[in-house]
Amino acid sequence: ASTLGASAAEKGRYYGTAIAAGRMGDSTYMTIANREFNMITAENEMKMDATEPSQGRFTFTNGDRIVNWALSNGKRVRGHTLAWHAQQPGWMQSMSGSALRNALINHVTQVASYYRGKVYAWDVVNEAFADDGRGSRRDSNLQRTGNDWIEAAFRAARAADPGAKLCYNDYNTDGINAKSTAVYNMVRDFRSRGVPIDCVGFQAHLGTSLPSDFQANLQRFSDLGVEVQLTELDIQQGSNQANMYAQVTNACLAVARCTGITVWGVRDSDSWRTGANPLLFDASGNKKPAYTSVLNALNAG
């Protein structure tokens, strides 16, 4: 096929992007997004600070703009994210203990209920592990409510939207290392105890080389019975960018339960990684060699 989304669909996968509500008036941006992608993540608009700016008062205006555009154009939505140490509203940042735990569960319940039936998969919990080389939980106000905060969030999400796939999402988990192994052990534990979890998102914010065990890492999670997805892919531009995009695509295609790839933005100029030019379209909206590399990989075989 001739677009990323259609080519991925022929392989039983999706190809997605992150959309920012503030760019939806840009016709070049919207034309590319609508043509190429069939899974949509709101870059910021469904996060905790955006959806519950004051406690108990929920705002879905910008999230709805993205979700409604996606659904009315035949795309699916990845919800991002119900629980995170970052981008908490101010009122939540200063909370602790059982009041915070209750506020968290209420947030998960309200947001997942509001979007019930519209979200294919939720990043229920984002970035809960540390980068300390020992696989520790990240210290945060949420973690300090008790180690079971992650499973409590997953159970609340399942109750609120039984039809959505529930994912754990993190970065620096793309190869086999202490952090990804800690996530792996958590997922294995959840599956053995019946805590609802369906998928693991690997953000895949990559530099100029790919971990040699990238595919093996996806495979070991897939072997636990969960789907795996690349959720925020971007790759530092260098001599190797197009080739790395092909390798990443091929790794997903080689893992049976790798169900899709999302790039974290449309054009290089839309990326959070200023100066890295890490995406598939240049600032003018032209297809880069990395784009052709992904399309060819999706269409091979």
Q: Quick check: 44 binds ligand G3I (CB under 6 A)?
A: yes
CB of 251 to ligand G3I, least distance (A): 20
* Nearer residue to ligand G3I within complex by CB, 36 or 43: 43
# of chain residues touching ligand G3I (CB under 6 A): 9
CA distance to 36, 51, 205, per residue, from 4 (Å): 5, 30, 19
Q: Does 45 bind ligand G3I (CB under 6 A)?
A: no
What x/- string results for residues 223 through 262 when contact with ligand G3I is judged by CB under 6 A?
A: ---------x------------------------------
Half-sphere CA count of 182, side-chain side, radius 13 A: 19
203 binds ligand G3I (CB under 6 A): yes
Residue nearest to ligand G3I (CB): 272
155-194: contacts with ligand G3I (CB under 6 A): 171
Determine contact, residues 122/196, Cβ cutoff 8 Å: no
Minimum distance of ligand G3I from residue 61's CB (angstroms): 13
Query: Nearest approach, Cβ of 44 to ligand G3I (angstroms)?
Result: 5
What is the x/- site pattern for ligand G3I, positions 262-281, by CB under 6 A?
A: ----------x---------
Smallest distance, ligand G3I to C-beta of residue 126, A: 6
- Select 18 or 297, whichever has its Cβ closest to ligand G3I: 18
Report the catalytic residues.
127, 232
Binding residues among 85-114 for ligand G3I as defined by CB under 6 A: 86-87
- Rounded distance between C-alpha atoms, residue 216 and residue 133, angstroms: 19
Q: Which residues bind ligand G3I (CB under 6 A)?
A: 43-44, 86-87, 126, 171, 203, 232, 272
